[in-house]
Amino acid sequence: MPSRRFPDGFLWGTSTSSFQVEMGRGEPASGSDWWTWVHDEENIRRGNASGAFPEQGPGFWELYRQDLERARRELGNNAVRLSMDWARIFPKPTIDAPVRVERDENGDVMGVEVSDATMRPLKALADPAAVARYRDIFSTANKLGLTVFLTLYHWPLPSGLHDPIACRDNLAGATRRGWLDQQTVVEYAKYAAFAAATFGDLVDLYATINEAPMVCKYGYLHDRVHFPPGLNDVGLFLTAFKNLAIAHGLGYEQVKTWDTSSATGRGPAEVGVVTVMEQYDPHDPSNELDRRAAEFNRYLWNEWNLNAVIKGDYDMNLDGAIDPGERRPHQAKGCDFIGADYYLRETVRHKAKGGDPRFDYEFTPSRGRTSDTGWEIHPEGLGNVLQWAFRNYRRPLYVTENGVADAGDKLRVEYLTSHIEQVHKAIEGGTPVRGYFYWSLIDNYSWFSGYRSKFGLFSVDVNTKERRPTNGVAAYRDIATRNSLSE
């Protein structure tokens, strides 16, 4: 049997995001669109939000030392993926910090020049307590031997840039329109520059944006589950999708410019994008319409964003072809790696709905094994998406999220092991995967579904904040410490 070792230096970690784990102890982070969204009574009444609140969360903001120690000692990890709350760093608007903005022939922002004259007001606007806390979180991780993988944007936008309720109720009259406006892209570039300048000595590995497809799908296209601002319009969806891809490029440039010091000897800054990739299969493989619907989903959710970010191909009419006006190489500033978030297989069936025919599909209930969230467990899909991404884009990869909602603690060990097996196979087949981050270190606040889904390797009692190891802990520690799967 071939060795099932992983390459030297492979990163083993877990993933979390600020909004989902920080609150529950200390000052709540109430300055974002997501905060407003989940507290809005109308949203709760309509079922767009669960009525559970992030301030009942696991309290990482104060308990980070013990959680990071767990990651190191109990999981044997050498890395950890975290995000920052943009609105904690900048509770006040940054719009007045001066920058030179360059636009392309479409009127889209293509360059933001952040200078020392920008950085001075940004430093004055940043909240010193939040900066100090994040510095302590990152340096605690580093001292423990955990390489920090920092996500700059994992969904909450500062309220000064997005009023999701005004957008939901009357978009035409709304002034703070989040990712629909390129002002947000410009402010994101400033935030990325500031983050790189401020935390660069502690961080070498950055993700610009987490899962742009989900932000756009659930915020602008979906008729069932809602993210802020809960709209359903293909045109708005594409505008947000485009702006998030442009933001990646500008964030990439800023981090490369402003982070000049190396924390771990890897070099100052490796910067990539994190996107969600799932396996999409037709409900009935012999049915041409089902096959087309599955392929459209694969293209839209797995591929569109990466084509824009890496190649500068912005397929604005979603026809699968890149017309001359959709070729925008000047927006593809760089992407050192692809972060793949993989959870499940979707089975897709054609269904006429009477609207835009491209969206004539539905997801059908899985015929395989499912998790508490009803997601189909399909480890082979992870191998498939990793290999596909490398074939298409020739970038190294990290698995930045992969995990299972499993309150009964029956599925986690097998889920973890079988997916890591697929990572190993992909590496053996020549796909350069550099790390694996399990979602999640601890149970956390799962956006519109609140605390129902239990993704943590450590379960959390929301009342006492007590952490308890699940069966996944010993299994993951065994793999991570030996850098190898058992024979």
Q: Which residues bind ligand BGC (CB under 6 A)?
A: 17, 20, 210-211, 214, 276, 341, 401, 439, 446, 455
Report d(CA 208, CA 237) in Å as an integer.
20
Cβ 83 to ligand BGC shortest distance, Å: 9
Among candidate residues 22, 187, 211, 270, the one labeled active-site is: 211
Cβ 19 to ligand BGC shortest distance, Å: 8
Q: Supply the DSSP string of 136-172, one letter for each residue.
A: HHHHHHHHHT-EEEEEEESS--BTTTB-HHHHHH-GG
Among candidate residues 22, 55, 303, 401, the one labeled active-site is: 401
Cβ 15 to ligand BGC shortest distance, Å: 8
List Cβ neighbours of 464 (8 Å cut-off, separation of 6 or more): none
Report d(CA 93, CA 125) in Å as an integer.
8
Tokens representing 285 are 């493989």
How many degrees, rounded to 5, is the angle at CA 386 between CA 21 and CA 13?
35
Block residue for tokens 């094994």: 369
466 is a catalytic site residue: no
Cβ 449 to ligand BGC shortest distance, Å: 8
Residue in the shown chain whose Cβ atom is closest to ligand BGC:
446
Beta carbons within 10 angstroms of residue 38's beta carbon? 24
List Cβ neighbours of 357 (8 Å cut-off, separation of 6 or more): none
Rounded alpha-carbon distances, angstroms, from residue 223 to 133, 220, 271, 349, 362: 39, 9, 34, 17, 12
Secondary element (H or E) of residue 152: strand 147-153
The amino acid sitting at 354 is G
Q: Pick the closer one to ligand BGC by CB: 124 or 224.
A: 224
Q: Pick the closer one to ligand BGC by CB: 60 or 314.
A: 60
Report d(CA 345, CA 377) in Å as an integer.
7
**How would you classify residue 47: left for phi > 0, otherwise alpha for psi between -120 and 50, otherwise beta?**
left
DSSP 82: E
Q: Pick the closer one to ligand BGC by CB: 230 or 403.
A: 403
211 is a catalytic site residue: yes
Cβ 24 to ligand BGC shortest distance, Å: 16
Q: Pick the closer one to ligand BGC by CB: 198 or 400.
A: 400
Q: Pick the closer one to ligand BGC by CB: 6 or 455.
A: 455
Q: Pick the closer one to ligand BGC by CB: 18 or 243.
A: 18
Positions marked active-site = 211, 401
